[in-house]
Amino acid sequence: MKTLADFPAFVLRRPAALLGLALLLVQAAAILFAPLLATHSPIEANPLASLQPPSAEHWLGTDVSGMDIYSRIIFATRINLLISVIAVAVAFVIGVPVGLVVGYRRGWASTLVMRIFDFIQSFPVFVLGMALVSVMGQEIWNVAIVLAILFTPIFARLVRAEALSLRDRPFIAAARCSGATDAAIMFRHILPNALGSSIVQVSISIGMAILLTAGLSFIGAGVRMPIPEWGLMVSTGSQQMILGIWWVALFPGLAIVFSVLSFALMADAARDYLDPRGERSR
């Protein structure tokens, strides 16, 4: 039986998963050691150094306000991953038990919960996120709350689908015959067997949350200046792209690409690892 302790060895045998892990470790280093890795203040403007190209002084150049792009990218890793990880964690903690209960129990309450989720998911994700952030305010925690609201139905539906397929299995009937309560059946017998797809979805959702956070900031509905955030930096730099000033938008955009790629690769590795056949057919 596979355990969490076996996962590192599994990753080391797969080049794509190893690349994803390496990218995650780079981001972890940026989060933990940002003050040591940054060469300048991420929020201190210097109009005299505005729009300087990459150089020995400013490794990735400066933006229109003269702020060092490299330092802002390093500190933005904290903001983007903080928002994304917290949002997905909250969605997971809320969505999994809700999906478990509505999947195991039949009745009007379960139907009502699913209709609420249908209502949330009927809106385009980006449009709903923009509307909620506009109403709640452009603060870091508000963006995290909005993303948690958007991702909760995803986890609830995954667990509900698994619970629906498991609740009539023979081992569940045996648990009922032995006198197990509904709570014991749900959390001791069904939940451990229903978590596989949700665990994979965590990594996928973090990547999606990073894109949504950056997208909201890009259009001015997310994090505000001078807070360092990748989407906000791309938005600032996009205005100078037509003038040939490419570095302001390019490097934050690459940070988004590599961050999302790392979580996508790890999600793929987790899906392969949790596959009961050992390897997915490709």
Domain extents for the chain? Answer: 26-34+59-274
Tokens of 205: 């959702």
CB-CB contact of 136 with 142 (8 Å): yes
Query: Is residue 197 pLDDT above 90, yes or no?
Result: no
When comparing pLDDT for 4 and 201, which is higher? 201
Cα atoms in the Cβ-side hemisphere of radius 13 Å centred on 269? 24
pLDDT at 281: 43
Task: Encode pLDDT of 205-234 as tens digits.
Answer: 999 999 988 888 888 777 788 889 999 999
* Mean of pLDDT values over 65-90: 93
Q: Is the per-residue pLDDT at 12 higher than 50?
A: yes
Distance, CA of 217 to CA of 114 (rounded, Å): 30
- Chain-centroid distance of CA 35 in Å reads 24
Burial 161-180 (b: 16+ CB within 10 A, else e): ebbbebbeeeebeebeeeee
For residue 133, pLDDT over 90 is answered with no
Instruction: Please state, for a pLDDT cut of 90, what percent of the chain lies above it.
Output: 41
Distance CA 25, CA 277 (A): 29
**Is 69's pLDDT higher than 70?**
yes
- What Å distances lie between residue 101 and 19, 91, 96, 214, 261, CA to CA? 38, 15, 9, 34, 33
62 forms bridges with which residues in the sheet? 68
Q: Which CATH superfamily is domain 26-34+59-274 in?
A: MetI-like (1.10.3720.10)
Asked if pLDDT for residue 260 goes beyond 90, the answer is: yes
Q: Please answer whether residues 209 and 222 qualify as being in contact, where contact means their C-beta atoms are separated by less than 8 angstroms.
A: no
Least confident of 19-28, 31-40, 135-144: 135-144
- What's the pLDDT at 2? 57
φ/ψ of residue 178, rounded to 5: -80, 0
If you average pLDDT over residues 173-192, what whole number do you get?
Answer: 84
How far, in Å, CA of 106 to CA of 182, rounded?
13
CA dist 11 and 183 (Å) reads: 35
Q: Which residues pair with 68 in a beta bridge?
A: 62
Q: What is the structure's pLDDT at 276?
A: 53
Tell me, rounded to whole angstroms, the distance of Cα 68 from its chain centroid.
Answer: 26
Report the alpha-carbon distance of residue 154 to residue 24 in Å, rounded. Answer: 24
Residues 6+ apart with CB under 8 A from 218: 231, 232, 234, 235, 238
What does the pLDDT average to over 236-242?
86
